[in-house]
């Protein structure tokens, strides 16, 4: 297989390599549905992925064999194809995928990196674990082989996350001069934690990463942890001041912090949309005098049980809040095919039931209300009007929910955050910080946040918001490319909202008003009209762009009844195209 490059460009292809593809899975009507991802990793790399001469390799599973296997969540090549992206799905046998992704990546590496050892975490390594380790290495070898098989000229590799630790060293054998950057989105463990893995495993992980030219991490603490692991476990020289590791070959590997961030322009556009407005109206009856919220995946690392326990303790310490404060928990389903996650789910719900049962009569309602779904617009609507955002993670990389909340908060709210969260150092002066295991301390911090004067809230929020605007998702991406010496495409340097040029650009805010939505027949009519114009035409929904000239792309946008989107046209006949497509959309209203 070969991947085409843009004619006249001899610099080669930038290759993004990740376990994940551009699509995520949402639980709808009792089953998993593939939809464009709104997650942090995808949202941050997508601006680059949409450029010419960029290919995105991701892991997918071949169809599972047994009926039992089919109950698990697998991502297939069909799920990850996107007509607007150059996605290259790399299929793994279902058994290899299960062991590489489910056992090693999620049950072992994820748990260790988040210091989850024991209950709801990494406990032991058995015979199955060691077999799964072989599958982890095999998955990385298959990815390297798939990249080699394309025979494309590679300008640089951008590898993502803990699923692919051995990959850089494998690629280095075949691409000795090609720049490689491996970015890790989760916290990196210190040597004592990494030593909970067998010697051969931790050696393979570290040496694999050191095949890179640059290793990117979230925080300065993560950089220090990685350097310490290289020095203590591999016994190789490191320079703490320069943040480099020197290999026996004489090659220096640079270790850098690139804190993940969000896109303020995309958040602002989403906040102004119809879906967020509808969510505001739905949530209004739930918002009491005071509202505490949390927005996170249902994952042991997010520490929800202690957060809910602390809320119950708040009501004990401050009975004046009973009936006046409600905790809205937006919990996103996660890894439901893994036993440890199902057990954790049940434990979280038991704690919620315990607190609700105790206080429901005095409150007149359930003081904790759970929204178990992946609905970003609903969470944003709650962020706007909450008094407190609680992020009491045991450990995480860079909690982007905090940054999104800071951009949209209107009340304004107060952040209560764990000292061990990735975002803690960036919010030290503008938040109330807690130990993630301290129920009493968290309860007191929640009370302090609820009682904080409006002026102090406003000052903190403005300072936090200002910092986020100075370092956005685009800055995160640009800094990594610059570290590799890559000249930036002008579109990325200026940003997606600054692309208007002499050819003209037009944007219309539109809404789907026919009851059945844009299904196959109206989508075909819409696309046929769009193809009659020379200009580039996009449908922009929830920060994701879809080509209006591809029926698959239009259907992927999930333009159901009531969906709001931006129609963006750029080119010599942009105005005529936008107007004509607006009329086509209007004509669908009569459809029953």
DSSP character string of 134-186: HHHHHHHHHHHHHHHHH-PPEEEEEEESGGGTTHHHHHHHH-TTS-EEEE--S
- d(C-alpha 524, C-alpha 528), whole Å: 6
Instruction: Report CA 4 to chain centroid distance, whole Å.
Output: 29
- Whether residue 390 has pLDDT greater than 60: yes
Three-state DSSP class for residue 82: coil
Bridge partners, residue 183, by sequence: 160, 216
Q: Are 234 and 203 contacting, i.e. CB atoms less than 8 angstroms apart?
A: yes
Per-residue pLDDT, 487: 66
**10 Å Cβ neighbour count for 516?**
13
Per-residue pLDDT averaged across 438-463, rounded?
97
Instruction: Report CA 464 to chain centroid distance, whole Å.
Output: 21
* Tokens 């001041």, located at residue: 241
| Domain 496-590 falls under CATH 3.30.460.10 | no
- Whether residue 324 has pLDDT greater than 50: yes
Q: Which segments within 3-145 are labelled E, that is strand?
A: 13-18, 23-28, 31-36, 54-61, 87-92
Residue 523 corresponds to which tokens in the numbers above?
């989508």
Nearest Cα to Cα of residue 96 among 146, 141, 159, 32: 141
Per-residue pLDDT averaged across 241-262, rounded?
94
Lowest mean per-residue pLDDT among 35-44, 85-94, 98-107, 280-289: 35-44
- d(C-alpha 17, C-alpha 128), whole Å: 27
Helix axes 376-385, 274-283, angle to 10 degrees: 60
Per-residue pLDDT, 304: 98
- d(C-alpha 53, C-alpha 47), whole Å: 13
Residue 514 corresponds to which tokens in the numbers above?
């026919």
Query: What's the sign of the alpha-carbon dihedral 336, 338, 340, 346?
Result: positive
Q: How much is the mean pLDDT over the chain?
A: 86
Per-residue pLDDT averaged across 465-486, rounded?
89
pLDDT class of 497 with cuts at 50, 70, 90 = very low
- For residue 519, indicate whether it is catalytic: yes
- Whether residue 171 has pLDDT greater than 90: yes
Q: Is 210 exposed, middle or buried (0-12, 13-18, 19+ CB in 10 A)?
A: buried
Residue 574 corresponds to which tokens in the numbers above?
């942009």
Sheet holding 238-239, edge to edge: 87-92, 54-61, 13-18, 154-160, 180-183, 214-217, 252-257, 244-246, 238-239
Lowest mean per-residue pLDDT among 39-53, 394-408, 433-447: 39-53
Q: Are 171 and 144 contacting, i.e. CB atoms less than 8 angstroms apart?
A: yes
CATH class of 264-469: alpha beta
- Whether residue 24 has pLDDT greater than 70: no
Per-residue pLDDT, 578: 77
Three-state DSSP class for residue 373: coil
- Whether residue 462 has pLDDT greater than 90: yes
pLDDT class of 66 with cuts at 50, 70, 90 = very low
Per-residue pLDDT averaged across 546-555, rounded?
85
Helix axes 473-483, 40-49, angle to 10 degrees: 60
Sequence ranges of the domains in the chain: 44-257, 264-469, 496-590
- Which of 23, 130, 241, 519 is catalytic? The answer is 519
- Domains 44-257 and 264-469 equal at CATH topology level: yes
Per-residue pLDDT, 27: 46
**10 Å Cβ neighbour count for 279?**
20
Per-residue pLDDT, 523: 87
Lowest mean per-residue pLDDT among 16-25, 463-472, 514-523: 16-25
- Whether residue 492 has pLDDT greater than 60: no
- Whether residue 491 has pLDDT greater than 60: no
Can you give 480-502 as a three-state secondary structure string?
A: HHHHCCCCCCHHHHHCHHHCCCC
- d(C-alpha 82, C-alpha 77), whole Å: 10
Per-residue pLDDT, 482: 87
Backbone angles phi, psi at 12, to 5 degrees: 95, -175
The answer for 393, left when phi > 0, alpha when psi is -120 to 50, beta otherwise, is beta
- Whether residue 55 has pLDDT greater than 50: yes
pTM above 0.85, yes or no: no
Instruction: Report CA 215 to chain centroid distance, whole Å.
Output: 19
Supply the CATH classification number for the domain 44-257. 3.40.50.2000
Per-residue pLDDT averaged across 332-337, rounded?
85
Instruction: Report CA 532 to chain centroid distance, whole Å.
Output: 36
What's the Cα-to-Cα distance from 367 to each of 275, 287, 323, 354, 359, rounded to whole Å? 26, 11, 8, 11, 7
What's the Cα-to-Cα distance from 11 to each of 8, 53, 60, 156, 241, rounded to whole Å? 9, 9, 29, 10, 34
Percent of the chain with pLDDT over 70: 86
* Tokens 């990685």, located at residue: 226
- Whether residue 297 has pLDDT greater than 60: yes
pLDDT class of 468 with cuts at 50, 70, 90 = very high
Three-state DSSP class for residue 69: helix
């Amino acid at each position: 297989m070969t991947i085409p490059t843009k004619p006249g460009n001899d610099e080669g292809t930038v290759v993004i390599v990740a376990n994940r593809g551009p699509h995520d899975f949402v639980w709808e009507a009792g089953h998993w549905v593939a939809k464009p991802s709104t997650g942090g990793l995808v949202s941050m790399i997508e601006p680059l992925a949409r450029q010419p001469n960029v290919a995105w390799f991701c892991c997918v599973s071949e169809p599972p064999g047994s009926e039992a296997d089919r109950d698990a969540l697998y991502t297939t090549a069909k799920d990850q194809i996107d007509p607007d992206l150059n996605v290259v799905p790399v299929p793994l046998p279902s058994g290899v995928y299960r062991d590489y992704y489910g056992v090693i990546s999620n049950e072992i590496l994820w748990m260790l990196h988040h210091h989850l050892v024991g209950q709801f975490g990494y406990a032991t390594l058995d015979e199955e674990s060691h077999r799964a380790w072989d599958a982890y290495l095999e998955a990385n070898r298959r990815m390297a082989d798939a990249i080699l098989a394309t025979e494309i000229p590679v300008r640089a590799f951008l590898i993502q996350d803990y699923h692919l630790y051995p990959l850089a060293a494998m690629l280095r054998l075949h691409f000795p001069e090609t720049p490689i950057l491996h970015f890790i989105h989760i916290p990196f463990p210190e040597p004592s934690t990494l030593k909970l893995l067998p010697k051969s495993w931790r050696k393979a992980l570290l040496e694999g990463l050191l095949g890179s030219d640059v290793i990117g991490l979230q925080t300065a603490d993560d950089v220090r942890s990685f350097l310490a692991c290289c020095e203590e476990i591999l016994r190789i020289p490191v320079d703490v001041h320069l943040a480099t590791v020197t290999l026996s070959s004489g090659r220096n590997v640079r270790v850098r912090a690139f804190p993940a961030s969000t896109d303020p322009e995309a958040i602002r556009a989403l906040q102004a949309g119809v879906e967020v407005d509808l969510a505001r109206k739905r949530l209004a009856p739930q918002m009491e005098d005071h509202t505490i919220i949390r927005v996170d995946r249902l994952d042991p690392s997010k520490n929800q049980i202690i957060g809910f326990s602390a809320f119950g303790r708040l009501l004990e310490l401050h009975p004046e809040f009973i009936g006046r404060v409600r905790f809205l928990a937006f919990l996103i389903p996660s890894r439901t095919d893994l036993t440890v996650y199902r057990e954790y789910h049940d434990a979280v719900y038991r704690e919620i039931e315990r607190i609700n049962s105790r206080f429901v009569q005095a409150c007149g309602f359930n003081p904790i209300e759970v929204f178990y779904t992946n609905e970003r617009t609903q969470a944003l609507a709650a962020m706007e009007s909450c008094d407190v955002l609680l992020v009491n993670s045991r450990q995480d990389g860079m909690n982007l929910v905090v940054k999104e909340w800071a951009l949209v908060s209107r009340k304004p709210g107060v952040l209560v955050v764990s000292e061990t969260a990735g975002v803690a150092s960036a919010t030290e002066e503008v938040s109330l910080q807690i130990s993630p295991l301290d129920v009493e301390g968290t309860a007191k911090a929640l009370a302090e946040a609820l009682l904080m004067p409006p002026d102090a809230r406003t000052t903190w929020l403005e300072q936090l918001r200002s910092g986020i605007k100075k370092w956005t998702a685009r800055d995160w991406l640009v800094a990594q490319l610059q570290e590799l010496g890559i000249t930036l495409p002008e579109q990325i340097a200026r940003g997606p909202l600054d692309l208007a040029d002499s050819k003209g650009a037009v944007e219309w805010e539109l809404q789907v008003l026919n009851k059945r939505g844009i299904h196959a027949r109206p989508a075909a009519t819409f696309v046929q009209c769009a193809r009659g114009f020379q200009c580039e035409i996009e449908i922009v929904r929830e920060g994701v762009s879809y080509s209006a000239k591809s029926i698959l792309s239009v259907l992927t946008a999930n333009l159901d009844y009531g969906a709001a989107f931006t129609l963006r046209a750029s080119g010599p006949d942009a105005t005529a195209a936008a107007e004509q497509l607006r009329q086509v959309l209007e004509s669908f209203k009569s459809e029953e």
